[in-house]
């Protein structure tokens, strides 16, 4: 006798997700994955993402759900408030927030300028705080279970030399999420952070970052760093794909995770365990 296969399609039918950084690698993959499971999508990114954000919305709409592109900068509270207001007017209240927009930077402590520090903290930590400041009233008023998922990083659980500013912001997100899990629990809203290792997106798969890993090569390709990057992990891979992150977000957003809140979920091929 064969075992019944659980029906895992339509896991988010009836939900609407607000996704920041939706034009980027992880944000766009997650928009597609949540839409495949039936969620409507508010795709938010800064104005400079223009055409790419429109493409993501077109791809998501083609899956049969409703989607809306909204431009906002997570460093500007007023633009986020306006984006949330516009989204609710167009698609109704959202019950899922994926606070994911971020930038990367590096440098030894004594070389990081005040400007670099402020810019990174403002997007990576302040941007998530502002996103939720705008979104929490909607989640509280929604009156049905909600889920907030915040993109931290493996650098939000441990740190490497030369990445102090990024690690400070990403560790800070864990504190925010823990506090918000307390504040929103009584409203049935769960709050969790995810902690990906290197993901194949423009954020890390760019010339400067590849050259930093392989200064011995003039034009290193991803293949040239694969073995080096795999040394930090328990599984024999150099990096993960955006869909691997999207699948974890889907799980945390879905009713399957209905009693999971206040956790830090690594998606890292074992790197936190190896170095933690």
Neighbour tally for 240: CB within 10 Å: 19
Q: Is 264 in the site for ligand NAD (CB under 6 A)?
A: no
Contact 242/258 with Cβ under 8 angstroms?
Answer: no
- Does residue 46 touch ligand NAD according to CB under 6 A? yes
Single out the segment in contact with ligand NAD by CB under 6 A; choices: 55-63, 69-77, 226-234, 253-261: 69-77
User: Do the beta carbons of residue 199 and residue 150 sit within 8 Å?
Assistant: no
Q: 35 near 67, Cβ under 8 Å? A: yes
Rounded Cα gap, residues 31 and 46, in angstroms = 16
- Binding residue for ligand NAD, selected from 15, 21, 149, 272, defined by CB under 6 A: 21
Pick from 15, 16, 49, 192 the residue near ligand NAD by CB under 6 A. Answer: 49
- Identify the CA nearest to 207 among candidates 197, 225, 221: 221
Please tell me whether residue 193 binds ligand NAD under the rule CB under 6 A: no
Sequence-separated (6 or more) residues with CB below 8 Å from residue 19 = 27, 30, 31, 34, 41, 42, 43, 44, 98, 100
Among 174, 176, 204, 225, binds ligand NAD (CB under 6 A): 204
Let me know if 166 is a catalytic residue.
yes
Number of residues in contact with ligand NAD under rule CB under 6 A: 29
In the list 100, 106, 147, 193, the residue contacting ligand NAD (rule: CB under 6 A) is: 100
Binding status of residue 102 toward ligand NAD by CB under 6 A: yes
Active-site residue among 94, 98, 166, 239?
166
Find tokens 């895992």 and name the residue.
8
Give the binding site for ligand NAD (CB under 6 A): 20-21, 23-27, 45-46, 49, 73-75, 100-104, 123, 127, 151, 153, 196, 198-199, 201-204
Tell me which residues are annotated as active site: 166
């Amino acid at each position: 006798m064969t075992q019944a296969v659980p029906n895992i399609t339509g896991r988010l039918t009836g939900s609407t997700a607000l996704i920041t950084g939706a034009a980027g690698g992880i944000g766009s993959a997650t928009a597609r994955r949540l839409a495949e499971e039936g969620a409507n999508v508010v795709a938010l990114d800064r104005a400079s993402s223009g055409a790419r954000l429109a493409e993501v919305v077109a791809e998501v709409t083609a899956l049969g759900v409703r989607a809306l592109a909204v431009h906002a900068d997570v460093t500007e509270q007023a633009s986020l408030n306006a984006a949330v207001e516009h989204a609710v007017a167009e698609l109704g209240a959202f019950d899922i927030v994926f606070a994911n927009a971020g930038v990367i930077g590096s440098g030894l402590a004594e070389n990081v300028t005040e400007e670099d520090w402020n810019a990174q903290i403002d997007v990576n930590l302040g941007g998530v705080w502002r996103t939720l400041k705008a979104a929490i009233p909607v989640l509280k008023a929604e009156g049905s279970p909600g889920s907030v998922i915040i993109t931290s990083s493996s650098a939000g659980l441990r740190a490497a030399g030369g990445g102090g500013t990024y690690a400070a912001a990403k560790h800070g997100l864990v504190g925010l999420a823990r506090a918000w899990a307390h504040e929103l629990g009584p409203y049935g809203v769960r709050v969790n952070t995810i902690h990906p290792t290197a993901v194949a997106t423009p954020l890390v798969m760019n010339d400067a970052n590849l050259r930093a890993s392989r200064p011995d090569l003039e034009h290193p390709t991803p293949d040239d760093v694969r073995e080096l990057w795999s040394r930090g992990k328990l599984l024999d891979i150099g990096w993960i794909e955006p869909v691997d992150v999207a699948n974890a977000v889907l799980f945390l957003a879905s009713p399957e995770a209905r009693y999971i809140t206040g956790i830090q979920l690594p998606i890292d091929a074992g790197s936190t365990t190896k170095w933690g």
